[in-house]
Structure 1
Amino acid sequence: MRRPPGDRPPRGAPRPRGSPPPPPLPRRLRRRFGGHRPRRGVRLRPLDRAHGGTVRISHLSAECVPYAKTGGLGDVAGALPKALAERGHDVDVWIPFHLEAARWFRRRFEWPAQALDPFDVSVLGTTYRVGILTHTLPGSSVPVYFVAHDPLFHRPAIYSPNDWGADDGLWRFSLFVRAAVEALKRMGRKPQVLHAHDWHPALAPMLGAWMNWRDRWFDDVASVLTIHNARYQGLYDPALFPALGLPPEVFSLVELGGAVNLLKGAIEAADVITAVSPRYAWEITTPEGGASLDAVLRGRSDRLTGILNGVDLSAWDPEHDPHLRARYSARDLRGKAECRQDLCLLSGFEPADPALIVGAVSRLTDQKGIDLLFEAAPELIRRGVRIAMLGSGDAALEGSMRVLEAHAPGRFKAFVGYDEALSHRVIAGADAFVMPSRFEPCGLTQMYALAYGTPPIVRRTGGLADSVVAYDGHNLETATGFAFDAATSHELAAETLRAMHVFFHKDDWRRIVRNGMLVDNSWDHAAGLYEEAYKRARTLRGLGW
C-alpha cells in the first residue's frame, strides 16, 4: 500500500496491490508508457492543445540556468518551462536562493523582487524564517520564485556541506519543498501539475501521494518526477526520516539498503516518472543501469517514460552564431569550410591536409569515457586522424591531454579548461565529433554537433543512442552519425576509422551532415511530449486535463 493503512483511499490514490488492473493503454501510448525497451525512431505526436487548454505547471529544481547550475539539470529547468510557456501553459519555476544566484544578480546590479512577506516554516519542530523572491526567467515571461534562507542556501557551492562538514541536504531541500508549497498556497496559485526534478524536491510528490489525506490541497495536483541521473539519489541516515514529516507507515517506501533514499521515495509516489531519454528510461530498469533502483523502477514501469531533452536553438544555431568565423546552414554549407580552417589555425593543424578532424568537448570524468579516446589516439593519429579537444576536470586526464599534445604536435591539440566561445568553434570546425561515454542519461553536446553539421561518433548508451542514427552502410537516407557498442578503445578507434572512410566519399558524408542538421531536437518538440506525460499523470490520478 502506498498510503497509511486504515484510512479511506483519497481520490486519485494508487490502486492497492491485488485490485483489478487498470484498463490497457491506448496503442499509441503503450510503448512509451509500458516500460518496454524503446524502439528507435518512435516519437509521440504532441498533445493537441486545442482540446486541452492552458495547464498550470510548477517546476521544482535545485538548479536553473542562468541563476545556478552544475550540469544538465540546470539547463533543463531553465529551458523546458520556457518551451511550455510558449505552447500556452501557465508555468513557474521554484529553486532555492543559492549564493550562486545572489552573485548572478549582483554582477548585473539588480536584485529579485519580494513576492511575499517572510513567513515561518517548521521542519521537525524547528522553525525557519523564509523569504520568497521572484524574477522573470530571461528570454521568457516565466516567473522564477526563489526560496531564501541564507544559513541553508548561501554556501560556496550549490551542494556544499554545512559548517561542520556534514551533508544536510535532506534538511535543506525539505525546507525548500515545504516553503514552496506554502508559498503557492499563500499566492492562491495551485498548480495542476507539480514537476519535481531529481531527488532534491522529492518530498513534493511524496506529500502529494501520502499526505493528501491530511492536506486536501494536493487532491487536484498531479505529480511528475524527472530522473536526470539515477546515480544521484539523496541518501541519508534513517534517523532523519521524521524530518520529512511523513507518516511512519511509509518508511519502507522511502528506505533502501538501510538508508533513507529520497529518489526512491519520489519514484514510489509520483503519478508519472520520466527519464531524460527513452533508452535511459529502459537502462535504469536493468541491474547494470539502475544504481540499485532497478527493481523499484521495474515495479513502476507502467508509470515510466523517456523523453529526450531538447537543445536551445537560440544559442546553438550555426546560421546565427556570433562565435563562428563564418555562418552556414543545411542549405548552404560553405561557411563550415571556413570554420574548419579557423579550427586548424587555432590548433596548429595544416589547413590543406584533407584528413578527418575529430573534435571533442567534454568534462574529464570516468563517465565520459575520455580515457578511451586517449588510448585510441596514437593509432588514430598514426592513420592520419587529427584531434582537437577542449576539456577540464580530472587532473590525471588533463595531464594525458597535455602529454598527447606534446608527443603529436600538429595532430593533437589540447585546450585545457572551458571556454564557451571556443566550444562553439571546435564543434563547428571539426569534421566529426566524438562522445565515447560509458553512460549518458541524455547528453546535449552530440545534439549541438548534429545541429552544426558535425556527425557524432558515439557509444550506444542512453541519450546518445536515441539522438544519433548510426550509419550502417545502407541507411544514408536517415543516418546522422556513427556508433559503437563496447566501451573499449579498440571499438572507438575502429568506428572512427570507419567514419574517416565515409568522410572521403564526399556525397555520402554531405548526406549524413544534412540529415543531422535537419533533425528536430528543439525544446518545443520535447515540450509536446511532456504535455503527454502531464496529461497521463492527471488521468492516472483521476483528474481532468
Structure 2
Amino acid sequence: MKVLYVTAECWPFIKTGGLGDVAYALPKALKKEGVDVRVIMPKYSNIPTYLKDKFKPVAEFSVKVGWRNQYCGIESMELDGITFYFIDNEFYFKRSDQPSIYGHGDDPERFAFFTNAVLAAIEKLNFYPDVMNLNDWHTGMIPLMLKENYGHLRKYKNIKTVYTIHNLQYQGIFNKEILGNIFDLSYDHFNNGDIEFYGNVNFMKAGIVFADEVTTVSKTYAKEIQTEFYGEGLDGLLKANAYKLEGILNGIDYDLNNPATDNAIFVNFDVNCIEKKLENKKKLQEILGLEVNPDIPLVGIVSRLTSQKGLDLINYMMPEIMSENLQMVVLGTGEHQYQSMFNYYNSNFSDKLSARITFDTAFAQQIYAACDIFLMPSLYEPCGIGQMLAMRYGSIPIVRETGGLKDTVMPYNKFTGEGNGFSFANYNAHEMFFTLQKAIKLYQDKNIWNNLIINAMNTDNSWKKSAQDYIRIFKSLIS
C-alpha cells in the first residue's frame, strides 16, 4: 500500500502546533505497520540549515498558478526510514520579513501553488499513491483539483483521498476571485455551493465535500463538530457527510517522549520505579525557588495562553487556587491578558507560583516529569497532546470533558481504583476548582495517588492503534 501524506508542516523541519507533531509521528507509525508512506510539504526558508544541508535535488518543473507558470523544485531527504519531499519556490516559501509560515496576505496563492505542485509532483516522482492523506485547510483544494485536472488520467484516476481535520476553527476562507485568478477554475462549484461559504471560497469545505473519507482527531470531536456550538458554521455540512466522517484519536511518539530515556528531564524513571519521579519534582521546586517539599502537590500548566485552553476559568478562580495548599508552574505564551495574569500572581505569590512566559521544549518535559497534577480545562480540544504527555510522565491530568480530553482521560473511581485522571463536564470555573480540590485531597493518600500514577503511565496513547485505524480506512477505500 502506497500513501502520500500531504502537510503544511512537519517536525523536525518546521512546526507551529499539533499538526507538525502528527505529520511526523503518524507516517512513522504507518511505516512500522508496513505501509510505503512518504511525506510532502513546502520547503520553507526557515527550516533549520542542518536539515536543509541534507536535502537532495530530485526534479524541476513548472506549475500553473492561474495564468502564470511558476518554478517548482522538489528536494528529498530520508529520516527514520521515511522519504520526505519538499516543494521549493522561494517566492512563496521564503519570508524573511515574517518568519511565520502562515498569516501572509498571499496565503491563498501560496497554498494554491502547493496544491498544484503536489499533484504535478506525483508524476515527476513516479510515485502514484493508492491514497493521499491530506491535512487541514492548506490541502483542502487537492481533492477538487485532482478531480478537475487529473481525473481523466489512468495513473491518477484511482487515487483515493482522506482529508483530516485537525482544528475546524481554521478553514482557509478567501475571496471568491481566487478561483479564476489562481486556480483557473470556473465558478460552477462555487455557484452550486460545494466550496462557497458566505460569499467566499472555503478550502476546508472543499476538502470535506470532495474527499473520499474525512477523519478528525478524536471520536468525541467528530461528534461535537456536527453541532452548532463546535461546528464553526460547517456543522450542517458535516452532518450531511457523516457517512464518511470518522474520529481517530491522535497519539504521541513513545520514542521521543519516554521518561526512561528522556535527556531533558533531571532523573529518568519508568512505571516500575515511580519513586524516582519525586526527584524530578524536588529538583524543579529548587530551580523555581519554591519550597522543596514532596507533600505539597505541584500543579503544572503547559499551554498556549488562550481562551480556548480554559484560561478564563483559571483566571476567575486564581484567588481561591492560591489559597489552596499547592504550588503551580506555568509555561506558555499567548493572549496578553493571560500572560499579565500569570505574571501578576508570579510577582505576588512567588512562594506558590512560577510562570515562564516563553516556549521551551526541554522545560516543558521537565514540568511533565515533575508535576503531580496537570491542569487542562479547555473550552474545546480536538484531540489534545498535553494530557497524553502528562500521563506518559506520571502527572495526573485534570481536564474538561471535551474532544480528545474526554476520550483519553478516564475519571478516577474511588470504588474500583480505576481511572487515570480527573474530569468535569460543564465549562464552569467552580466545577473546575472543585475537581482540583478533590485531586489535592486524594494526593495526601499516597497509596491512591501512586496507583493513579501507575494507571496513567500504563495508559496506551501510542500511535500504533491509530495507525491501524488509518490503515483500515485506506484498505476500505482502495478495495
Normalising by structure 2, report the TM-score. Answer: 0.95
Distance 1:330 1:353, change over 3 A: closer
Q: Is the 8 A contact 1:92 1:144 kept in 2?
A: yes
Q: Between 276-285 and 418-427, report the one with greater CA deviation.
A: 418-427
1:347 is aligned to 2:288: yes
CA contact (8 A) 1:347 1:410 kept: no
Which residue identity lines up with residue 190 of structure 1 in the other structure? Answer: Y
Number of the residue aligned with 1:271: 212
Cα shift readout 1:454-476 (whole Å, capped 9, x = no counterpart): 11001111111111111243342
CA distance in 2: counterparts of 1:371 and 1:387, whole angstroms: 17
Q: For the Cα contact (< 8 Å) 1:203–1:244, is it kept in 2? A: no
- 1:520 and 1:423 map into 2 onto residues whose CA distance is 21
Letter paired with 2:76: T
Give the equivalent residue in structure 1 for 2:56. 113
Measure, in 1, the Cα distance between the counterparts of 2:15 and 2:62.
27
When structure 1 is superposed on structure 2, of 445-454 and 248-257 the one drifting more is: 248-257
- The amino acid that maps onto 2:410 is V
Provide closer, same or farther for how the CA distance between residues 485 and 115 of structure 1 changes in structure 2, counting only shifts above 3 A.
same
- Structure 1 residues 160 and 446, CA gap change in structure 2 (3 angstroms): closer
Q: Distance in 1 between matches of 2:166 and 2:220?
A: 13
Shift of 1:506: 1.9
**Which residue of the partner structure matches residue 439 of structure 2?**
499
Cα gap change, 1:213/1:221 in structure 2, threshold over 3 Å: closer, same or farther? closer
Q: Which runs of 4+ in 1 moved over 6 A?
A: none
Give me the whole-angstrom Cα distance separating, in 1, the residues matched to 2:16 and 2:259. Answer: 25
Q: Is the 8 A contact 2:222 2:246 kept in 1?
A: yes
- Report the Cα offset of residue 196 of structure 1: 0.5
Cα contact 2:44–2:101 (8 A) shared by 1: no
1:123 aligns with 2:72: no
Cα-to-partner distance string for 1:224-252 (whole Å, 9 max, x where unaligned)? 00000001111111121223344543222
Alpha-carbon distance change, 133 to 213 in structure 1, aligned in 2, over 3 angstroms: closer
Q: CA shift at 1:213, angstroms?
A: 4.6
Amino acid at match of 1:84: L
Query: Which structure's relative contact order is higher, taking Cα pairs within 8 Å and 6+ residues apart?
Result: 1
Match of 1:10?
none
Q: Specify the alignment match of 2:346 in structure 1.
A: 405
1: CA distance, partners of 2:356 / 2:121 = 46
CA contact under 8 A between 2:162 and 2:214: conserved in structure 1?
A: yes
- 2:176 matched to 1:238? yes
Q: SS at 2:355's partner residue?
A: strand
Instruction: Confirm or deny: 8 A CA contact 2:412 2:422 kept in the other structure.
Output: yes
Question: How far apart are 1:488 and its partner, in Å?
Answer: 2.7
Query: How big is each residue's C-alpha offset from its partner over 1:297-346, in whole Å with a ceiling of 9 and x where there is no partner?
Result: 00000101111111111221111111222221111112111111112112
CA contact (8 A) 2:63 2:116 kept: yes
| Runs of 5+ unmatched residues, structure 2 | none
> What TM-score, normalized by structure 1, do the two folds share?
0.84
| Contact 1:208–1:223, Cα closer than 8 Å, also in 2 | no
CA distance in 1, matches of 2:186, 2:35: 34
Which of 136, 140, 151 is 1:202 aligned to?
A: 140
Alignment of 1:151-166 (within 5 A): 151-155=91-95, 156-160=98-102
Q: Does 1:387 align with 2:333?
A: no
1:353 Cα deviation from its structure 2 partner = 5.7
Q: CA deviation at 1:154?
A: 0.8
Q: In structure 2, how many angstroms separate the alpha carbons of the residues matched to 1:292 and 1:377?
A: 34
Deviations 1:9-51 (A, max 9, x none): xxxxxxxxxxxxxxxxxxxxxxxxxxxxxxxxxxxxxxxxxxx
Q: Which amino acid aligns with 1:423?
A: A
1:157-178 Cα offsets, whole Å, 9 max, x none, are 344555xxxx222221121121
Aligned ranges for residues 350-499 of structure 1 at < 5 Å? 350-352=291-293, 354-477=295-418, 479-499=419-439
**Are 1:173 and 2:114 an aligned pair?**
no
Percent identity of paired positions between Structure 1 and Structure 2:
33
Counterpart AA for 2:158: D
Q: 1:297-316, aligned counterparts within 5 Å?
A: 297-316=238-257
Distance (whole Å) between structure 1 residues aligned to residue 52 and residue 232 of structure 2 = 43
| Aligned equivalents of 2:46, 2:122: Cα separation in 1 | 24
Structure 1: runs of 5 or more not aligned: 1-54
AA aligned opposite 1:249: D
Matched position secondary structure for 1:318 = coil
1: distance between equivalents of 2:55 and 2:271?
A: 41
Partner of 1:320: 261
1:426 and 1:507 mapped to 2: Cα distance? Answer: 23
Match of 2:465 in 1: 525
Q: State the aligned residue count.
A: 474
